[in-house]
Amino acid sequence: MNVYKVLNETIEYIENNLENKIDYKKIAQIMLVNEDTAQRFFRMICDITLSNYIRKRRLSKAVNDLCLKNMSVLDVSIKYQYESPISFSRAFEKFHGIKPSKAKENANGLKVFPKIIFEEKSIENNNTEYSIVSKDAFELYGICKKTTNKTIKEDAPKHFKEIMDKYLNEFGYPNYGMTVYKNDGTRLNVCEYWTLYDKKIDNEEFSKVLIPAGKWIVFKIDSQNSKEIQKMTDDFYEKWIKSIDYKVKELPELEYYHDNVTEFFIPIED
Average of pLDDT values for 54-66? 91
Length of the chain: 270
Q: Model confidence over 149-177: pLDDT tens digits?
A: 899 989 999 999 999 999 999 999 999 99
Of the candidates 176, 181, 126, 175, which has an alpha carbon nearest to the alpha carbon of residue 148? 181
Q: 120 pLDDT exceeds 70? A: no
Q: 243 pLDDT exceeds 70? A: no
E strands in 75-205: 110-112, 117-118, 123-124, 130-135, 138-146, 176-181, 190-197
Q: Are 253 and 190 in contact (CB under 8 A)?
A: no
CA dihedral 30, 32, 46, 100 (to 10 degrees): 40
Average of pLDDT values for 31-58? 88
State residue 146's pLDDT score: 95
- Is domain 3-104 given the CATH code 1.10.10.60 in the classification? yes
Q: How confident is the model at residue 260 (pLDDT cuts 50, 70, 90)?
A: confident
Q: Are 49 and 91 in contact (CB under 8 A)?
A: no
Q: Are 174 and 95 in contact (CB under 8 A)?
A: no
- List all residues 6 or more positions away from 210 whose beta carbon is below 8 Å from its beta carbon: 137, 138, 139
State what percent of residues in the chain have pLDDT above 70. Answer: 88
Higher pLDDT, 201 or 44: 201
State residue 164's pLDDT score: 93
As beta bridge partners, residue 258 has: 261
Average of pLDDT values for 34-41? 87
State residue 121's pLDDT score: 44
Phi, psi of 13 (to 5 degrees): -60, -45
List the domain boundaries for the chain: 3-104, 134-268
State residue 122's pLDDT score: 42
Cα 241 to Cα 233: distance, rounded to the nearest angstrom: 10
Average of pLDDT values for 215-232? 82
Fold annotation for 134-268: Multidrug-efflux Transporter 1 Regulator Bmrr; Chain A (3.20.80)
